[in-house]
Amino acid sequence: MNLTLLPGGAVEVTERADFPVNRGALCGKGRTAPALLSPEVRLTSPLVRSQGVLRPAGWDEALDRVAEGLSRTRAEHGPDALGVFGGGGLTNEKAYALGKFARVVLGTSQIDYNGRFCMSSAAAASVRAFGLDRGLPFPLEDVPRTGCVILVGSNLAETMPPALRHLTELRENGGTLIVVDPRRTRTAEQADLHLAPRPGTDLALALGLLHLVVAEGRTDEAYIRERTSGWEEARAAAMAHWPEYVERITGVPVPRLREAVRLFCAPKSAMVLTARGPEQQSKGTDTVGAWIDLCLATGRAGRPYSGYGCLTGQGNGQGGREHGQKADQLPGYRKLTDPAARRHVAEVWGVDPDTLPGPGRSAYELLDALGTDIRALLLMGSNPVVSAPRAAHVEERLRSLDFLAVADVVLSETARLADVVLPVAQWAEETGTTTSLEGRVLLRRRALSPPAGIRSDLEVLHELAARLGVEKGFPVEPQEVFDELRRATAGGPADYSGITYRRLAEENGVFWPCPAPPGSRAGVSPGVLTDDPVQEESPSAVHPGTPRLFLDRFATGDGRARFAAVSYRDSAEEPDETYPVLLTTGRVVAQYQSGAQTRRVDELNAAAPGPYVEMHPRLAERLGAADGEPVAVVSRRGRAVAPARISPAIRPDTVFMPFHWPGEGRANTLTNPALDPTSRMPEFKVCAVRLERVGGAPEDGSGAGRV
């Protein structure tokens, strides 16, 4: 988007029709985003807790309190008693600086971020299959040019409305759309075929489709032979999932399974795109792996207009997981356990690689350890009181900390629990880069100054580092941080070394990997980066970036993609007599993530004022519930209450709740923190619940009132 500062300080949003992803289209959240710039809805002064109450304070007092709280905890309990929790909305520069701060200044291994809740299963499956994770290994504009898309567990019409046009154009071009979702969403209504599996059974569905591909002779044997490994084991696993067995597990009729295979295999090119539905499961990595297997078996990966992709869910969901705020990673997608990676990054940082801590806990495990092993926490850009699974327990853990500091734009539900709250600048008030779901690095330029009393996250980290004894290495200028990031990523899987602010200002983004030109000093030594490939090299020497990955080889040692031999298993929590109904969660178009920002915009609140429980008419009849009547949803972890929304668009054995609200309608009070063994992703998308009418059973003695 473009922003224009109007007389009087108002900000006007206008479309950017030249940008190829949304081509000027904006959803309501984009149009109304300037409302969050108002001092009336945001933090404008640091807050410190005195006698149990948060009060305004000056920056020196607030920063001194944070530094003292962190240093005291480290002195008493060691560096791993300090936790750091980041966010997928931080710019690349801030995510990079936060990871460096945790490991260099605090010396702690205990850092992770809320992106662990969003795309970690897809990332793990992609690394296992392709040797590299980039949400989409092709530009989003390739989608309308493929022959068929299977969209698994994504409601783009509500979560990414501007991106929906690519699916619309796909169908206008003669392609077909298959949507996999237990609800008939606005996106599913546009599909040529809608498959509505029971929540938690996406793995069985993918394996059933792969079984049919083999049985019907639709595999691409030449591709499998030349570009993959592990097929024999994966085929044997898939053949155990015959269609009738898969129908019993998923509830999807066999004729629909066969139709999906026919539509997917008929055209020359096809794609599978997944989102949170299959990923937020305790078997999410294997589930995504099975969908990747379907692409590999049919020769639909590493070819034009074909492949597997993950639709990332946060503002910098891709870049946020590339540069070191994840528990096991160093900048550039380097692994913290790789000695060569540690040496390279340590040289850029000017430290001994032996001083860098090893991998720490994943996001939920970190939050679960608060108040026990982890005694103090620095949190930036996240609101786990609303967004974490088993949220009441997480809230209790946060309250049990010796010290909590939160840096945020607004006084979120998590910030209200803090000992110190630091008000920071937001998107329109600071320059920085983000990386789109396609791996396209973008420059977001400052449009206006923040209100008095606001500082940037980079300034916060600079000031805290100085107070904790590290005077250098934490610049406050985003471009200086980005130039260091370029050096740190040079030669890594996500290589940004050939990308400069100047290039980003002149182009519609640059796709990584984009190495620096041969002979350039970028990435070689620490210190101030003096060379600029755009300025110093001829145009032919500048790497153009990599919009499309894997066309020649995959990023594995031998260049071959790896099949995953996986089998179906139940969700961590299946329905029983006490909890006979399945709950799944998701988003609505007018709100975003934990709602900390969007719930402060009047127009968005008018469109989506609060939570609800969507249920099928047959389930509502059994419960004796009327539309709009409050209903309690109870799981083994807690109870949430919200109005019933009765709709035939959902399976009769399932209820749906959006997760944007705190309080008694908080959906994540109910969700299960069972973790995927590989990605450590919690199982947000499926848990067992029972339903109760608020007020008890009806007076007619019908026995309804509880299901």
pLDDT tens-place string over residues 556-604: 999 999 999 999 999 999 999 999 999 999 999 999 999 999 999 999 9
Q: What pLDDT was estimated at residue 312?
A: 83
Q: Identify the residue whose tokens are 């991998």.
A: 359
Q: Are residues 291 and 337 in the same domain?
A: no
Q: Mean pLDDT of all residues in the chain?
A: 94
pLDDT (average), residues 508-516: 96
pLDDT (average), residues 43-59: 97
Give dist(CA 656, CA 636) in Å, integer: 17
Q: Are residues 240 and 131 in the same domain?
A: yes
Cα distances (Å, whole numbers) of residue 365 to 117, 336, 384, 644: 12, 18, 13, 33
Q: Are residues 377 and 345 in the same domain?
A: yes
Q: Which residues pair with 11 in a beta bridge?
A: 5
Residue 704 has pLDDT above 90, yes or no: no
Residue 531 has pLDDT above 70, yes or no: no
Q: Are residues 232 and 291 in the same domain?
A: yes
pLDDT (average), residues 206-231: 98
Distance of CA 334 to the CA centre of its chain: 19
Residue 696 has pLDDT above 80, yes or no: no
Tokens representing 670 are: 């109910």
Domain count, the chain: 3
Asked if residue 172 belongs to a domain, the reply is yes
Going by pLDDT thresholds of 50, 70 and 90, the confidence category of residue 695 is confident
Range of the domain at 490: 56-117+317-424+439-513
Q: Are residues 597 and 477 in the same domain?
A: no
Residue 530 has pLDDT above 50, yes or no: no
Q: What pLDDT was estimated at residue 537?
A: 46
Going by pLDDT thresholds of 50, 70 and 90, the confidence category of residue 539 is low
Asked if residue 460 belongs to a domain, the reply is yes
Asked if residue 684 belongs to a domain, the reply is yes
Instruction: Say if residues 648 and 702 touch (Cβ distance below 8 Å).
Output: no
Percent of the chain's residues with pLDDT above 90: 90
Q: Are residues 222 and 303 in the same domain?
A: yes
- 575 three-state secondary structure: coil
Q: Are residues 110 and 167 in the same domain?
A: no
Give dist(CA 616, CA 60) in Å, integer: 56
Q: Which residues pair with 83 in a beta bridge?
A: 377
Nearest to 150 by CA among 123, 125, 187: 187
* Tens-digit pLDDT profile for residues 313-330: 788 989 999 999 999 999
Instruction: Say if residues 331 and 324 touch (Cβ distance below 8 Å).
Output: yes
Asked if residue 44 belongs to a domain, the reply is no
Q: What pLDDT was estimated at residue 217?
A: 98
Q: Are residues 359 and 498 in the same domain?
A: yes
Q: Are residues 332 and 461 in the same domain?
A: yes
Instruction: Say if residues 83 and 377 touch (Cβ distance below 8 Å).
Output: yes
Give dist(CA 636, CA 584) in Å, integer: 15
398 versus 23: the higher-pLDDT residue is 398
Prediction pTM value: 0.94
Name the E strands within 354-409: 376-380, 403-408
Tokens representing 72 are: 């005291």
* Tens-digit pLDDT profile for residues 95-136: 999 999 999 999 999 999 999 998 899 999 999 999 999 999
Q: Are residues 281 and 190 in the same domain?
A: yes
**CATH number of the domain encompassing residue 588:** 2.40.40.20
Return the DSSP state at 380.
E
> Which phi and psi angles does 503 have, rounded to 5°?
-60, -45
Q: Are residues 148 and 194 in the same domain?
A: yes
pLDDT (average), residues 228-242: 98
